[in-house]
Amino acid sequence: MISASGLAKSYTVRRGRERLQVDAVSDASFEVAEGEIVSFLGPNGAGKTTTLRMLTTLASPNSGSAQVAGHDVVAQPREVRRRIGYVSQGGSAGGFARVGDEIVDRAMLYGLDAATATRRARALLERLDLADSWTRVPRSLSGGQRRRLDVVMGLVHQPRLLFLDEPTAGLDPQARANLWGHIRDLREEYGMTVFLTTHYLDEADVLSDRVIVFDHGRVVTTDTPDALKDRISGDLIEMEVAGPEQVDAAVRILEKSAADQPKVTGLRMAGRVHRSGTVLPGLARELDAAGVELVSLEVRRPTLDDVFLTLTGRSLRDSH
Ligand SMILES: Nc1ncnc2c1ncn2[C@@H]1O[C@H](COP(=O)(O)OP(=O)(O)OP(=O)(O)O)[C@@H](O)[C@H]1O
Protein backbone atom coordinates (compact mmCIF):
# COMPACT_ATOMS: atom_id res chain seq x y z
CA MET A 1 0.00 0.00 0.00
CA ILE A 2 3.01 2.24 0.64
CA SER A 3 6.45 1.74 -0.81
CA ALA A 4 8.96 4.48 -0.05
CA SER A 5 12.50 4.39 -1.33
CA GLY A 6 15.19 6.87 -0.31
CA LEU A 7 12.77 9.77 0.21
CA ALA A 8 14.68 12.90 1.23
CA LYS A 9 13.73 16.49 1.88
CA SER A 10 15.74 19.44 3.13
CA TYR A 11 14.79 23.03 3.89
CA THR A 12 16.88 26.17 3.75
CA VAL A 13 16.41 28.35 6.81
CA ARG A 14 17.83 31.79 7.57
CA ARG A 15 19.70 32.33 10.79
CA GLY A 16 20.69 36.00 10.84
CA ARG A 17 22.66 36.53 7.64
CA GLU A 18 23.42 32.86 7.27
CA ARG A 19 21.47 30.36 5.22
CA LEU A 20 21.45 26.91 6.74
CA GLN A 21 20.32 23.65 5.22
CA VAL A 22 18.13 21.50 7.48
CA ASP A 23 17.89 17.87 6.39
CA ALA A 24 14.39 17.13 7.63
CA VAL A 25 14.36 13.65 6.05
CA SER A 26 17.49 12.02 4.64
CA ASP A 27 16.43 8.47 3.79
CA ALA A 28 12.88 7.25 4.33
CA SER A 29 12.70 3.73 2.93
CA PHE A 30 10.00 1.32 4.03
CA GLU A 31 6.95 -0.69 2.97
CA VAL A 32 3.44 -0.85 4.38
CA ALA A 33 1.19 -3.75 3.40
CA GLU A 34 -2.55 -3.52 2.78
CA GLY A 35 -4.60 -3.73 5.99
CA GLU A 36 -1.72 -2.97 8.35
CA ILE A 37 -1.78 -0.40 11.14
CA VAL A 38 1.75 0.97 11.20
CA SER A 39 3.16 3.48 13.68
CA PHE A 40 5.91 5.79 12.59
CA LEU A 41 7.60 6.35 15.95
CA GLY A 42 10.23 8.96 16.69
CA PRO A 43 11.06 12.00 18.82
CA ASN A 44 10.20 15.62 17.97
CA GLY A 45 12.09 16.76 14.91
CA ALA A 46 12.83 13.21 13.66
CA GLY A 47 11.20 14.02 10.32
CA LYS A 48 7.90 12.19 10.76
CA THR A 49 5.60 14.98 9.62
CA THR A 50 7.82 15.80 6.64
CA THR A 51 7.75 12.14 5.55
CA LEU A 52 3.97 12.08 5.94
CA ARG A 53 3.65 15.25 3.87
CA MET A 54 5.71 13.69 1.08
CA LEU A 55 3.61 10.52 1.13
CA THR A 56 0.39 12.55 1.00
CA THR A 57 1.74 14.73 -1.90
CA LEU A 58 1.71 17.91 0.23
CA ALA A 59 5.50 18.26 0.01
CA SER A 60 7.69 17.24 -2.90
CA PRO A 61 10.77 15.14 -2.17
CA ASN A 62 14.24 16.39 -3.19
CA SER A 63 15.12 12.81 -4.07
CA GLY A 64 13.82 9.28 -3.75
CA SER A 65 10.41 7.97 -4.74
CA ALA A 66 7.23 6.59 -3.24
CA GLN A 67 4.25 4.62 -4.45
CA VAL A 68 1.14 5.22 -2.38
CA ALA A 69 -2.11 3.31 -3.02
CA GLY A 70 -0.69 2.12 -6.32
CA HIS A 71 0.46 5.51 -7.68
CA ASP A 72 3.61 7.58 -7.72
CA VAL A 73 3.45 10.58 -5.35
CA VAL A 74 5.40 12.86 -7.72
CA ALA A 75 4.10 11.76 -11.12
CA GLN A 76 0.46 11.05 -10.14
CA PRO A 77 -0.39 13.20 -7.11
CA ARG A 78 -4.10 13.51 -7.98
CA GLU A 79 -4.49 9.73 -8.22
CA VAL A 80 -2.82 9.37 -4.83
CA ARG A 81 -4.98 12.08 -3.19
CA ARG A 82 -8.21 10.47 -4.37
CA ARG A 83 -7.30 7.24 -2.63
CA ILE A 84 -6.02 8.46 0.71
CA GLY A 85 -7.39 10.21 3.78
CA TYR A 86 -5.22 12.60 5.74
CA VAL A 87 -5.73 13.91 9.24
CA SER A 88 -3.14 16.58 9.97
CA GLN A 89 -1.69 17.43 13.37
CA GLY A 90 -3.88 20.48 13.84
CA GLY A 91 -6.95 18.82 12.38
CA SER A 92 -9.11 20.29 9.66
CA ALA A 93 -12.49 20.83 11.31
CA GLY A 94 -12.87 24.41 12.49
CA GLY A 95 -14.70 27.56 11.57
CA PHE A 96 -18.28 28.43 12.29
CA ALA A 97 -20.14 25.97 10.09
CA ARG A 98 -22.15 23.23 11.75
CA VAL A 99 -20.47 19.84 12.01
CA GLY A 100 -22.89 18.15 9.60
CA ASP A 101 -22.55 20.88 6.99
CA GLU A 102 -18.74 20.77 7.16
CA ILE A 103 -18.71 17.05 6.46
CA VAL A 104 -21.27 17.31 3.65
CA ASP A 105 -19.27 20.16 2.05
CA ARG A 106 -16.10 18.11 2.25
CA ALA A 107 -17.80 15.07 0.69
CA MET A 108 -19.21 17.23 -2.14
CA LEU A 109 -15.72 18.56 -2.82
CA TYR A 110 -14.82 14.95 -3.53
CA GLY A 111 -17.63 14.81 -6.07
CA LEU A 112 -20.45 13.19 -4.09
CA ASP A 113 -24.00 14.47 -4.68
CA ALA A 114 -25.77 16.13 -1.74
CA ALA A 115 -27.97 13.16 -0.82
CA THR A 116 -25.09 10.66 -0.84
CA ALA A 117 -22.87 13.12 1.04
CA THR A 118 -25.53 13.58 3.75
CA ARG A 119 -26.08 9.85 4.07
CA ARG A 120 -22.36 9.20 4.37
CA ALA A 121 -21.88 12.03 6.86
CA ARG A 122 -24.62 10.65 9.10
CA ALA A 123 -23.22 7.12 8.93
CA LEU A 124 -19.70 8.26 9.79
CA LEU A 125 -20.83 10.47 12.66
CA GLU A 126 -22.78 7.54 14.05
CA ARG A 127 -19.77 5.27 13.51
CA LEU A 128 -17.49 7.53 15.55
CA ASP A 129 -20.00 8.20 18.35
CA LEU A 130 -20.79 11.72 17.19
CA ALA A 131 -24.40 11.17 16.11
CA ASP A 132 -25.69 14.04 18.29
CA SER A 133 -23.18 16.57 16.94
CA TRP A 134 -24.71 17.37 13.57
CA THR A 135 -25.95 20.84 14.51
CA ARG A 136 -23.07 21.80 16.79
CA VAL A 137 -20.07 23.89 15.76
CA PRO A 138 -16.70 22.10 15.98
CA ARG A 139 -15.40 24.67 18.49
CA SER A 140 -17.97 23.54 21.04
CA LEU A 141 -16.84 19.89 20.96
CA SER A 142 -14.42 18.35 23.46
CA GLY A 143 -10.83 17.64 22.36
CA GLY A 144 -11.57 13.95 21.86
CA GLN A 145 -14.79 14.64 19.91
CA ARG A 146 -12.98 17.13 17.68
CA ARG A 147 -10.26 14.62 16.93
CA ARG A 148 -12.91 12.03 16.02
CA LEU A 149 -14.53 14.64 13.77
CA ASP A 150 -11.14 15.12 12.08
CA VAL A 151 -11.09 11.37 11.41
CA VAL A 152 -14.63 11.57 9.95
CA MET A 153 -13.44 14.36 7.64
CA GLY A 154 -10.54 12.17 6.53
CA LEU A 155 -12.93 9.32 5.71
CA VAL A 156 -15.75 10.96 3.71
CA HIS A 157 -14.44 9.77 0.37
CA GLN A 158 -13.93 6.21 1.66
CA PRO A 159 -10.15 5.99 1.29
CA ARG A 160 -8.39 2.64 1.50
CA LEU A 161 -5.47 4.25 3.29
CA LEU A 162 -5.68 6.71 6.18
CA PHE A 163 -2.76 8.88 7.31
CA LEU A 164 -2.93 10.25 10.84
CA ASP A 165 -0.38 12.75 12.12
CA GLU A 166 -0.07 12.50 15.92
CA PRO A 167 -3.73 11.49 16.26
CA THR A 168 -3.97 11.62 20.05
CA ALA A 169 -1.58 14.48 20.89
CA GLY A 170 -3.05 16.55 23.70
CA LEU A 171 -5.91 14.16 24.51
CA ASP A 172 -6.53 12.74 27.98
CA PRO A 173 -5.94 8.99 28.51
CA GLN A 174 -9.61 8.07 28.19
CA ALA A 175 -10.06 10.00 24.93
CA ARG A 176 -6.84 8.45 23.56
CA ALA A 177 -7.96 4.89 24.37
CA ASN A 178 -11.35 5.67 22.83
CA LEU A 179 -9.75 6.86 19.58
CA TRP A 180 -7.47 3.81 19.44
CA GLY A 181 -10.59 1.63 19.69
CA HIS A 182 -12.22 3.47 16.79
CA ILE A 183 -9.11 3.20 14.62
CA ARG A 184 -8.93 -0.55 15.20
CA ASP A 185 -12.64 -0.95 14.51
CA LEU A 186 -12.31 0.97 11.23
CA ARG A 187 -9.60 -1.41 10.14
CA GLU A 188 -11.72 -4.45 11.09
CA GLU A 189 -14.79 -3.09 9.37
CA TYR A 190 -13.33 -1.66 6.16
CA GLY A 191 -9.97 -3.45 5.96
CA MET A 192 -8.42 0.00 5.87
CA THR A 193 -4.66 0.53 6.03
CA VAL A 194 -3.61 3.05 8.69
CA PHE A 195 -0.28 4.85 8.83
CA LEU A 196 0.18 7.11 11.84
CA THR A 197 2.98 9.16 13.31
CA THR A 198 3.44 9.21 17.05
CA HIS A 199 5.97 9.86 19.74
CA TYR A 200 3.87 8.00 22.30
CA LEU A 201 5.31 4.60 23.11
CA ASP A 202 2.06 3.26 24.56
CA GLU A 203 0.21 4.29 21.39
CA ALA A 204 2.68 2.47 19.16
CA ASP A 205 2.57 -0.54 21.47
CA VAL A 206 -1.19 -0.90 21.85
CA LEU A 207 -2.42 0.22 18.47
CA SER A 208 -0.03 -0.94 15.81
CA ASP A 209 0.69 -4.21 14.09
CA ARG A 210 4.13 -2.89 13.29
CA VAL A 211 6.35 -0.03 14.38
CA ILE A 212 8.83 1.83 12.18
CA VAL A 213 11.38 3.50 14.45
CA PHE A 214 12.46 6.77 12.82
CA ASP A 215 15.22 9.08 14.02
CA HIS A 216 17.36 11.79 12.41
CA GLY A 217 15.47 11.53 9.13
CA ARG A 218 15.95 7.81 8.56
CA VAL A 219 14.50 4.41 9.49
CA VAL A 220 16.32 2.86 12.44
CA THR A 221 14.44 -0.43 12.40
CA THR A 222 10.99 -1.94 11.96
CA ASP A 223 9.17 -4.84 13.62
CA THR A 224 6.09 -5.76 15.63
CA PRO A 225 5.98 -4.15 19.10
CA ASP A 226 6.52 -7.55 20.78
CA ALA A 227 9.39 -8.56 18.52
CA LEU A 228 11.07 -5.21 19.18
CA LYS A 229 10.78 -5.78 22.90
CA ASP A 230 12.12 -9.33 22.55
CA ARG A 231 15.26 -7.91 20.95
CA ILE A 232 16.22 -6.43 24.31
CA SER A 233 18.09 -9.13 26.12
CA GLY A 234 15.60 -10.27 28.69
CA ASP A 235 13.63 -8.91 31.62
CA LEU A 236 15.07 -6.47 34.12
CA ILE A 237 15.36 -7.76 37.70
CA GLU A 238 15.59 -4.95 40.22
CA MET A 239 16.21 -5.72 43.88
CA GLU A 240 17.10 -3.95 47.09
CA VAL A 241 18.93 -5.54 50.03
CA ALA A 242 18.54 -4.70 53.72
CA GLY A 243 22.10 -3.56 54.48
CA PRO A 244 25.38 -2.47 52.82
CA GLU A 245 27.22 -5.60 54.01
CA GLN A 246 24.89 -7.72 51.85
CA VAL A 247 25.46 -5.86 48.56
CA ASP A 248 28.54 -7.78 47.38
CA ALA A 249 27.05 -11.21 48.00
CA ALA A 250 23.79 -10.23 46.30
CA VAL A 251 25.57 -8.81 43.23
CA ARG A 252 27.69 -11.99 42.90
CA ILE A 253 24.56 -14.14 42.91
CA LEU A 254 22.64 -11.88 40.48
CA GLU A 255 25.69 -11.78 38.20
CA LYS A 256 25.52 -15.55 37.66
CA SER A 257 22.06 -15.32 36.04
CA ALA A 258 22.38 -11.92 34.39
CA ALA A 259 23.05 -11.33 30.70
CA ASP A 260 25.01 -8.19 31.47
CA GLN A 261 26.93 -6.71 34.40
CA PRO A 262 24.39 -5.71 37.11
CA LYS A 263 24.18 -1.98 37.85
CA VAL A 264 24.46 -1.11 41.54
CA THR A 265 23.18 2.09 43.18
CA GLY A 266 23.46 2.08 46.99
CA LEU A 267 21.44 -0.87 48.25
CA ARG A 268 19.66 -1.34 44.91
CA MET A 269 20.87 -3.40 41.98
CA ALA A 270 19.48 -4.29 38.56
CA GLY A 271 20.42 -6.84 35.92
CA ARG A 272 18.85 -8.27 32.78
CA VAL A 273 18.07 -11.99 32.74
CA HIS A 274 16.76 -14.27 30.03
CA ARG A 275 13.43 -15.82 31.02
CA SER A 276 12.97 -14.37 34.49
CA GLY A 277 10.26 -16.96 35.27
CA THR A 278 12.76 -19.82 35.40
CA VAL A 279 15.58 -17.77 36.95
CA LEU A 280 13.72 -16.25 39.90
CA PRO A 281 13.11 -19.33 42.13
CA GLY A 282 16.80 -20.36 42.07
CA LEU A 283 17.91 -16.77 42.59
CA ALA A 284 15.67 -16.38 45.64
CA ARG A 285 16.95 -19.67 47.10
CA GLU A 286 20.59 -18.71 46.65
CA LEU A 287 20.10 -15.25 48.14
CA ASP A 288 18.36 -16.81 51.12
CA ALA A 289 21.12 -19.40 51.64
CA ALA A 290 23.75 -16.62 51.54
CA GLY A 291 21.87 -14.72 54.26
CA VAL A 292 20.83 -11.85 51.97
CA GLU A 293 17.66 -10.17 53.14
CA LEU A 294 15.62 -8.62 50.32
CA VAL A 295 13.65 -5.43 50.89
CA SER A 296 12.17 -5.54 47.40
CA LEU A 297 12.34 -7.62 44.25
CA GLU A 298 10.76 -6.47 41.01
CA VAL A 299 10.73 -7.84 37.48
CA ARG A 300 10.10 -5.53 34.53
CA ARG A 301 9.42 -6.59 30.96
CA PRO A 302 11.28 -4.44 28.42
CA THR A 303 9.27 -1.48 27.17
CA LEU A 304 9.45 0.21 23.76
CA ASP A 305 11.37 2.95 25.54
CA ASP A 306 14.10 0.41 26.40
CA VAL A 307 14.11 -0.57 22.73
CA PHE A 308 14.45 3.03 21.65
CA LEU A 309 17.25 3.63 24.13
CA THR A 310 19.12 0.54 22.94
CA LEU A 311 18.70 1.43 19.27
CA THR A 312 19.43 5.15 19.40
CA GLY A 313 21.34 5.66 22.65
CA ARG A 314 18.71 8.05 23.97
CA SER A 315 15.40 7.75 25.70
CA LEU A 316 12.30 8.73 23.76
CA ARG A 317 10.81 10.08 27.01
CA ASP A 318 13.79 12.35 27.65
CA SER A 319 13.57 13.87 24.20
CA HIS A 320 10.35 15.73 25.08
N1 LIG B 1 8.91 24.13 6.50
C2 LIG B 1 10.05 23.93 7.16
N3 LIG B 1 11.06 24.83 7.09
C4 LIG B 1 12.23 24.64 7.74
N5 LIG B 1 12.49 23.57 8.50
C6 LIG B 1 11.53 22.64 8.63
C7 LIG B 1 10.26 22.77 7.98
N8 LIG B 1 9.51 21.69 8.28
C9 LIG B 1 10.27 20.92 9.10
N10 LIG B 1 11.48 21.47 9.32
C11 LIG B 1 12.58 20.92 10.14
O12 LIG B 1 12.78 19.58 9.75
C13 LIG B 1 13.02 18.74 10.88
C14 LIG B 1 11.98 17.63 10.91
O15 LIG B 1 10.70 18.18 11.18
P16 LIG B 1 9.36 17.32 11.24
O17 LIG B 1 8.23 18.25 11.57
O18 LIG B 1 9.23 16.52 10.00
O19 LIG B 1 9.66 16.35 12.46
P20 LIG B 1 8.64 15.48 13.32
O21 LIG B 1 9.32 14.19 13.57
O22 LIG B 1 7.32 15.43 12.65
O23 LIG B 1 8.54 16.30 14.65
P24 LIG B 1 7.22 16.65 15.50
O25 LIG B 1 6.91 15.43 16.29
O26 LIG B 1 7.70 17.78 16.36
O27 LIG B 1 6.15 17.06 14.55
C28 LIG B 1 12.99 19.65 12.08
O29 LIG B 1 14.31 20.03 12.39
C30 LIG B 1 12.18 20.84 11.60
O31 LIG B 1 12.56 22.01 12.31
Tens digits of per-residue pLDDT, 108-144?
Answer: 988 889 999 999 999 999 988 999 999 998 888 888 8
Q: Is the pLDDT score of 24 beyond 80?
A: yes
- CA distance linking residue 47 with residue 29, whole number of Å: 13
Q: What is the pLDDT of residue 317?
A: 63
Q: What is the pLDDT of residue 249?
A: 96
Q: What is the mean pLDDT of residues 155-173?
A: 89
Higher pLDDT residue, 95 or 243? 243
- Report which protein residue has its CA nearest ligand 1's atom 17: 49
Decide whether any atom of ligand 1 lies within 6 Å of the 24 Cβ.
Answer: yes
Q: Is the pLDDT score of 51 beyond 80?
A: yes
Q: What is the mean pLDDT of residues 288-316?
A: 85
Domains of the chain: 2-229 (3.40.50.300), 233-301 (3.30.70.1710)
Decide whether any atom of ligand 1 lies within 6 Å of the 68 Cβ.
Answer: no
Q: What is the mean pLDDT of the chain?
A: 90
Q: What is the pLDDT of residue 22?
A: 92
Mutate to test the pocket of ligand 1, among 10, 15, 19, 22 (most ligand atoms within 8 A of CB): 22
Ligand 1 geometric centre to CA of 100 (Å): 33
Q: What is the mean pLDDT of residues 70-95?
A: 86
Confidence of residue 91 (pLDDT cuts 50, 70, 90): low
Higher pLDDT residue, 279 or 302? 279
Decide whether any atom of ligand 1 lies within 6 Å of the 213 Cβ.
Answer: no
* pLDDT 10s digits, 263-278: 999 999 999 888 788 8
ipTM: 0.95
Q: What is the mean pLDDT of residues 33-59?
A: 94
Strand partners, 240: 268, 296
Q: What is the pLDDT of residue 96?
A: 73
Percentage of the chain modeled with pLDDT above 90: 57
* pLDDT 10s digits, 3-13: 999 999 999 99
Q: What is the pLDDT of residue 95?
A: 66
